[in-house]
Amino acid sequence: MTNVDHETLEDLLRHASPRPTPSKDDEATVRAAVHQEWRELTGRRQSRRRMAQYAIAATVLVGVFAAFNVFRGPTAEAVQVATIEKNIGPVYLLGEDAELRDTIDLANIMSGQVIVTGTDAGLSVAWGNGGSIRIDEDSRVEFTDGQSVFLESGRVYFDSQGAPLVAGINAGGAPGVTLRTEFGDIEHLGTQYMTEVDAGRLVVSVREGRVAIEGRYHDHLASPGQQVTMSGSAQPSILSISTHGEAWNWVNRTTPSADFEGKSLYEFLTWVSREMGLDLAFEGQAEAGAHDAILKGRIDMEPAEALRLRLATAGYDWRIDEGVIYISDNR
């Protein structure tokens, strides 16, 4: 066995939670079946060497049975862990029979369920009491339980604050979520970040806050504007990146509907800037006017388009320059 095999096995055993051993009745059933097979073999006067081989096989079979139960453990009852907020394109639920089932009528995601997105697809789900998870196209994600999500392949985005206006939820500090991958685990520290698993590597891009990456070989605490790439046992690659722009556009495409009934224009602009990874600045008396202006209805479109339409009807001008949205009052 190679060192990699040893490390993989140790990693599996380290993450496996304790499970009960098989019952005496189950073990007795297996032993009885093996004993019957052994008797039939001896009745046919198999050679002593042949009998010894089956004796060893019997012991191995019981051991495998026990190991299977140790790792399988009791079946946990499925619980709701997330609510679907926005569904774009072909998004599927992977059934126990490995068949893909359409999620068009699916409202909630239960623990243990696997979501698969097709080309040009995307999904946004509300996590806990305000967190937001976005899933990009061509991705496969398992919602393990109420504390963790496993990214098998593709790309996801997590916002721990999740825009408190989403679906009328008041965030108040979303519960933590551990994003697990085959390359390591990612823990957020109040943040917005994107994670990609592709071509034998893990890529984590941080927009806001900080992210603790516990890799198989290396650990790293990533800050805003950093992109960390881990591949095998090589040292992590750390780059400075923009927190807005083309690389993040898919996140905006999956922005969930937000309720702004009775909210101020200032709250709307704050939401837009955060969704787009931009800073917000006001010119002249625009900020005071934004606090006074009260909105109606919901927003169910990409933030940039919502910004254009809302400000056009409210009498404000805006422009984006070097990562900042500037708002001016032309009324």
Q: How confident is the model at residue 100 (pLDDT cuts 50, 70, 90)?
A: confident
> Chain-wide mean pLDDT for the chain?
79
Across residues 247-276, what is the average pLDDT? 96
Tokens of 76: 């946990």
pLDDT at 77: 84
Across residues 195-211, what is the average pLDDT? 95
Given a cut of 50, is residue 18 above it in pLDDT? Answer: no
Distance CA 288, CA 264 (A): 11
Most confident stretch, 54-63, 98-107, 132-141, 174-183:
132-141
pLDDT at 135: 97
Distance CA 120, CA 134 (A): 14
Q: Are 24 and 62 in contact (CB under 8 A)?
A: no
Given a cut of 90, is residue 316 above it in pLDDT? Answer: yes
Given a cut of 90, is residue 228 above it in pLDDT? Answer: yes
pLDDT at 175: 53
Given a cut of 50, is residue 98 above it in pLDDT? Answer: yes
Q: Are 115 and 254 in contact (CB under 8 A)?
A: no
Average the pLDDT over each of 100-104, 125-129, 246-250, 285-289 and give the range with the smallest value. Answer: 100-104
Across residues 298-302, what is the average pLDDT? 94
pLDDT at 129: 65
pLDDT at 311: 94
Residue in the block written with tokens 């969930």: 256
pLDDT at 294: 95
Q: Are 142 and 100 in contact (CB under 8 A)?
A: no
Residue range 34-78, pLDDT digits in tens? 344 434 443 443 444 443 443 444 343 344 334 434 443 445 688
Across residues 107-129, what is the average pLDDT? 92
CA distances in angstroms from 299 to 168, 233, 263, 306, listed in the order given: 12, 45, 12, 7
Distance CA 159, CA 176 (A): 10
pLDDT at 233: 94
Q: Are 91 and 75 in contact (CB under 8 A)?
A: no
Q: How confident is the model at residue 162 (pLDDT cuts 50, 70, 90)?
A: low
Given a cut of 50, is residue 172 above it in pLDDT? Answer: no
Residue range 212-223, pLDDT digits in tens? 999 999 999 999
pLDDT at 281: 98
Given a cut of 90, is residue 5 above it in pLDDT? Answer: no
Given a cut of 90, is residue 125 above it in pLDDT? Answer: yes
Residue range 139-159, pLDDT digits in tens? 999 999 988 999 999 999 999
pLDDT at 105: 77
Which one is predicted more confidently, 232 or 18? 232
DSSP string, 52-64: HHHHHHHHHHHHH
Q: Which stretches within 103-209 are classed as H helix?
A: none
Could you give the domains of the chain?
Answer: 3-72 (no CATH), 80-250 (2.60.120.1440), 257-329 (3.55.50.30)
pLDDT at 64: 39
Enter the pTM of the model.
Answer: 0.73
pLDDT at 80: 92
